[in-house]
Amino acid sequence: MAGRVAESWHKSTRCGEASHCVEVAHFGHTVGLRNSTRPHETVLVSVAAFQDLVERIKSGELDA
């Protein structure tokens, strides 16, 4: 992730004051995902892959 700067990291309002949350940031053609307790460890995915993940979550496809 060196050299990449996000405008800002966002976490769900459902997270509230919890410290273990997923944070998301937009980096042009990619989206960064990280654990709020380990911000130095970031996973980058394409915007299309992130959109697909969000749709799968919303549809319940990934529910345990």
20-45 pLDDT, tens digit per residue, is: 889 999 988 999 999 988 988 999 99
What is the structure's pLDDT at 7?
66
Average pLDDT in the 51-62 region? 94
Q: What's the token pair of residue 53?
A: 């993940």
| Contact (Cβ atoms closer than 8 angstroms) between residue 21 and residue 15 | yes
What's the domain count of the chain?
1
Residue 52 belongs to what domain range? 10-59
**Does 2 map to a domain?**
no
Residue 29 counted as domain residue: yes
Residue 58 has pLDDT above 90, yes or no: yes
- Asked if the structure places residue 55 within a domain, the reply is yes
